[in-house]
A = this chain, B = another copy of it.
Amino acid sequence: MVKFEQAGLDASFAALSDATRRGVLEQLGRSDASITDLAEKFQMTLAGMMKHVGVLEQAGLVTTEKVGRVRNCKLGARTLEEEAAWLDRHRQLWASRFDALDEVVEQLKRKEKNNGRKK
């Protein structure tokens, strides 16, 4: 059984729970960008964007580096592999639960059919 590091999952799922922050990750997936670039692109104040980038940085999804007056952002070391594994496992459990439910429904149908014949 996979052992998940819960605090890391808490932080990364929370970081992903905002459309702007997901957009920033998509943007940084295409090319690095400064906080100023990102604020412009997402039509947001510098302070607002710094807050979002801070959340992503805390979760390890982004790293930033100050060069002169500019803070450059790029994708961090966290690859979301654990998060993807968690989702996959959940989806497998989900599917097996609903397969089991299907089986019960099929059994009930067969029973009904047999009862019908006996009448």
> B29 touching A94 by the CB < 8 A rule?
yes
**Would B13 and A13 count as touching, CB distance under 8 A?**
yes
What are the interface flags for A8-37 relative to B under an 8 Å C-beta threshold, 1 for contact and 0 otherwise? 011101101111001001100110000000
Which residues does A use to contact B, with CB under 8 Å?
Answer: 6-7, 9-11, 13-14, 16-19, 22, 25-26, 29-30, 75, 79-81, 83-84, 86-88, 90-91, 93-97
Chain B contacts for A7, CB-based, 8 A: 19
Q: CA A9 – CA B18 in complex, angstroms?
A: 8
By a CB distance below 8 angstroms, the chain B residues around A16 are: 9, 13, 86
Q: CA separation between A95 and B79, bound complex, in Å? A: 8
